Amino acid sequence: MKTELKKINKLIELFRDKFDNMENTFWDRSESWQDSDKGQEFQEKMDAIETAIDDLEMIENDLKEAFNLLD
């Protein structure tokens, strides 16, 4: 189970890195781009990644609790 938790944690880290890069890109763009359809679509993708991170963290915590692997 610990191996699986490490994989989940690695996936969370990868998604966080992706989100951070996207967030930097978003804020580097002009305000008009941010408000455009493309900017809104980009924001929706960022929101989806953020939701995935939250979901994976919840799964990770549930597994740790279920298998008594709390830090």
Please report, as a single letter, which amino acid is at residue 9.
N
Q: What is the pLDDT of residues 6-35, one digit of tens each?
A: 999 999 999 999 999 999 999 999 999 999
Which residue matches tokens 């996936």? 11
- The answer for 68, left when phi > 0, alpha when psi is -120 to 50, beta otherwise, is left
Q: What is the pLDDT of residues 35-54, one digit of tens each?
A: 999 999 999 999 999 999 99
- Could you tell me the pTM of the whole model? 0.89
